[in-house]
Structure 1
Amino acid sequence: MESGNVTTPFGRRPMTFGMLASQTAAGKIEPGRSIDKWKIYRALCEAKPMLGITDRALAILNALLSFYPKGELSEENGLVVFPSNAQLSLRAHGMAEQTIRRHLASLVEAGLLIRKDSPNGKRYARKEQGGDIREAFGFSLAPLLARADEIERLAAEVAAERLHLQRLKERLTLCRRDVAKLIEMALEEGVAGDWGGIHLHFRNIVERLPRSPSAAQIADALDELELLRNEITNQLEMQEETHNRSGNAPHYERHIQNSNPQYITEFEPSFETKQGAMADDRPVGQAEPAAPVQKREDTNSHVQAATYASAGSGALKSFPLGLVLQACPEIAAYGPEGSIGSWRDLMAAAVVVRSMLGVSPSAYEEACEVMGPENAATVMACVLERAGHINSAGGYLRDLTRRAERGEFAIGPMLMALARTSLPMRNKTG
């Protein structure tokens, strides 16, 4: 049994009001009160952020509890344990004695232990003739019994806060997925609107979150994303109503307007050399000399534009130039004067990149015929962005071309994936 007297620490350790308060509270334990020692320890592990203790300090407390002979903490069984630091080190997985002393002091300061020092500072117990412990000097576990209700309440609050944070994270994940897929769908279907700007705003909201956000930070981001999702949904619903009233005419008009079959021959030097050769020197299937071709293009330009729109852009949707440059920033260095300001500049840069990556002129020409010049240039920009992960750029482009012919390839997911990876890199380097 413990005496109810106030004890002071041995040696140079000062007495504090916190120690006095812990001893006063321990003296008010209800008679007959007991609690499972491992249950209260689990509650302490849960409530450690609220109590200001570390996991290493809890490891020392675990070792102390292992020296308590009973499973239930109670005054009848005594509440003082008296292992030496060497014994504690063995049960704390070899923790250094200096570290043990530091964490014992933190447990005392947190009001979870009470020092009951002997006259010489040693830890030991005096036993009666029958073997029962009459008085023990060491560390009293009485604060755990006295503060059991408080510790369990703090543990419940921490658990509730963790559950609240988990549910917020789940809602945030669902909302992020909804916004990303709605933007991707709008780009894939060619819906009118500043989807590049919307996607940039979406990424800015997500990137503002720290690595370990608090519940308040997640709630703020969730409010912004839910508002953005509602705006996107309303815009898509209005576009759907307009689409149902007017049919598909605006959808095809945009692609015909952006198609220009002359870009391929203008920006591909190897084509110009072949077109200028004599007819007898051309291989089978080679294009006619430049002059007849130019004449026929001048007379049938409208027919050719419609052909490109139906054969290439009809199968794949084109995307805003700003979005392409946002997802594929590396292609800008290959444009005229080191920048890209128009689709014409992008297609000129794509020809340079094609040669640099070893893509044959025939593979790129076939891609232009199937996908359309703008989409082929966009694909080349994506290939350049992923060049380190592609073994054969030419074979990869031919595979995409065949898939596009079968209607199994879409540029939208490729652009969105690159946009998600390129924005954090620009934020770090910029």
Structure 2
Amino acid sequence: MQTGSVTTPFGRRPMTLALVKRQVATNEIKAGKSVDKWKVFRDASEAREELGLQSNSLAVLDALLSFYPENELRQDAQLIVFPSNAQLILRAHGMAGATLRRHLAMLVDAGLIVRKDSANGKRYARKNGAGEIENAFGFDLSPILGRSEELALVAQKVVAARAAFRKAKENLTICRRDVRKLISAAMEEGADGDWAAIEAMYLDLVGRIPRTPSMADIANILDEMALLREEVLNQLDTQQNSQFYSTNDALIEQHKQNSKPESSIELEPRSEKEQGWTSSKPGRLAMREPLKAFPLGLVLKACPQIADYGPGGSVGAWRELMSAAVVVRSMLGISPSAYQDACEVMGAENAAVAVGCILERAHLINSAGGYLRDLTRRTERGEFSLGPVIMALLRSNGERALQAG
């Protein structure tokens, strides 16, 4: 490959150590290496933003590659092209001269081409007696060949990130539609519940979606919207179960009234060990609710303080969160019996989340133990769910972050 030694730029263009490094790298390309120039161009196009390039930069790169006569860039070939600015402007669809020079400089800064300037700054080639190019001055395309694998990896990451972003936006759109229609149906059909407050939560979430959201924005809003959807469905499901049991009680009562005295059929008392029922204390009977598995990352966003009490000052798993909750329980003065009752009724994971929520609002709570016992009783009656509490803390933490910023 006829790249020559390190050369300095012509005229007022300064020499930098980065340029030296790039020129040295062109001399270290693996022997026999080759790559399709248009494949590399497509990879560079996908990686445009990562390389700090603009669309016009790609137009100039496309023009430069068009002056290389073969489709494959080869390590043992002459990879310097030497078109004049007039020729480049023509193939770059009439780009202005100043714009052309600016984007040539951007391609050099991005490490995709290297200038090899002649003594007078002109671009040309010298040929030997056999008509072969002996020496050329212009733009060396060797860096594209040398970085072909790197550009391919960056392009793959960009494509994957774009697909993930598109999928997250689709999921948010579906989740948003579900919540909106479920709330509307509940309000129109007169379902029990504070649907105005839930709708306000929904509108708040929608209002926080930026005009041009990032992946992090979409992920955060999607987590909260999914949690809100879960709460809406849970409230509707609880109401449906309540109506079912009320109807069932009426049917049982009707059966008792209509049954004949001589009938030998009797209603057997329900065993506390029967599937679907649990007893947290003697004389207490409660329907076992399925454990709501809140994402751990979402819980830690809502309750960041509890992570300081985990093993090593951090929480990375549910077991570590429950370990931290035991420490916080003691610190807040919550008795072991109160915490045990919460674990039996809510489940160990949800009890730990509840302690984390109490820690976040500890400055507003007079008795943490009494507060947890009240939450346990309300959970047992089906009157309390952690979802709205987590959402409120998420909003509160988000507002504090914006104020701090």
TM superposition score normalised by structure 1: 0.56
SS of the equivalent of 1:241 reads helix
SS of the equivalent of 1:73 reads strand
Amino acid at match of 1:84: S
Quote the sequence identity (%): 54
Distance in 2 (alpha carbons) for counterparts of 1:77 and 1:113: 16
Deviations 1:352-388 (A, max 9, x none): xxxxxxxxxxxxxxxxxxxxxxxxxxxxxxxxxxxxx
Q: Find the counterpart in structure 2 of residue 322 from structure 1.
A: none
Distance in 2 (alpha carbons) for counterparts of 1:21 and 1:172: 46
Distance in 1 (alpha carbons) for counterparts of 2:12 and 2:230: 66
Q: Find the counterpart in structure 2 of residue 144 from structure 1.
A: 144
Distance in 2 (alpha carbons) for counterparts of 1:6 and 1:238: 75
Deviations 1:148-171 (A, max 9, x none): 111111111111111211221121
1:280-291 aligned at under 5 Å gives the runs none
Indicate if the aligned counterparts of 1:168 and 1:219 stay in contact, CA closer than 8 A. Answer: yes
Q: Find the counterpart in structure 1 of residue 219 from structure 2.
A: 219
Q: Describe the shift of the 1:163–1:30 C-alpha distance in structure 2 as closer, same or farther (beyond 3 A).
A: same
**Residue 124 (structure 1) shift:** 0.6
Distance in 2 (alpha carbons) for counterparts of 1:101 and 1:144: 19
Q: Find the counterpart in structure 2 of residue 311 from structure 1.
A: none
Distance in 1 (alpha carbons) for counterparts of 2:114 and 2:59: 17
**Residue 116 (structure 1) shift:** 0.3
Q: Find the counterpart in structure 2 of residue 35 from structure 1.
A: 35
Distance in 1 (alpha carbons) for counterparts of 2:29 and 2:205: 52
SS of the equivalent of 1:77 reads coil
**Residue 172 (structure 1) shift:** 1.0
Indicate if the aligned counterparts of 2:3 and 2:27 stay in contact, CA closer than 8 A. Answer: no
**Residue 245 (structure 1) shift:** 4.7
Distance in 2 (alpha carbons) for counterparts of 1:3 and 1:49: 28
**Residue 246 (structure 1) shift:** 4.8
SS of the equivalent of 1:139 reads strand
Amino acid at match of 1:153: L
SS of the equivalent of 2:76 reads helix
Q: Find the counterpart in structure 1 of residue 104 from structure 2.
A: 104
Amino acid at match of 1:203: L
1:28-427 aligned at under 5 Å gives the runs 28-246=28-246
Indicate if the aligned counterparts of 2:79 and 2:140 stay in contact, CA closer than 8 A. Answer: yes
- Count of aligned pairs: 247
Deviations 1:35-58 (A, max 9, x none): 000000000011112111111111
Q: Find the counterpart in structure 2 of residue 405 from structure 1.
A: none
Q: Find the counterpart in structure 1 of residue 11 from structure 2.
A: 11
> 5+ unaligned residues in a row in structure 2: which ranges?
248-405
**Residue 175 (structure 1) shift:** 0.9
Indicate if the aligned counterparts of 2:187 and 2:195 stay in contact, CA closer than 8 A. Answer: yes
Q: Find the counterpart in structure 1 of residue 296 from structure 2.
A: none
Amino acid at match of 1:195: W
Amino acid at match of 2:33: R
SS of the equivalent of 2:8 reads coil
> 5+ unaligned residues in a row in structure 1: which ranges?
248-430
Deviations 1:9-29 (A, max 9, x none): 001111011111110111101
Deviations 1:63-105 (A, max 9, x none): 0001110000113331100011111111111001111001101
Q: Find the counterpart in structure 2 of residue 335 from structure 1.
A: none
Indicate if the aligned counterparts of 1:70 and 1:77 stay in contact, CA closer than 8 A. Answer: no
**Residue 242 (structure 1) shift:** 2.9
**Residue 141 (structure 1) shift:** 0.3
Indicate if the aligned counterparts of 2:175 and 2:226 stay in contact, CA closer than 8 A. Answer: yes
Distance in 1 (alpha carbons) for counterparts of 2:3 and 2:88: 25
SS of the equivalent of 2:174 reads helix
Deviations 1:215-267 (A, max 9, x none): 111111111011111111111112222334557xxxxxxxxxxxxxxxxxxxx
SS of the equivalent of 2:35 reads strand
Distance in 2 (alpha carbons) for counterparts of 1:174 and 1:76: 54
Higher relative helix content: 1
Distance in 1 (alpha carbons) for counterparts of 2:162 and 2:47: 11
Once superposed, which parts of structure 1, at least 4 consecutive aligned residues long, lie more than 6 Å away?
none
SS of the equivalent of 1:10 reads coil
**Residue 114 (structure 1) shift:** 0.4
Indicate if the aligned counterparts of 2:31 and 2:76 stay in contact, CA closer than 8 A. Answer: no
Q: Find the counterpart in structure 2 of residue 25 from structure 1.
A: 25
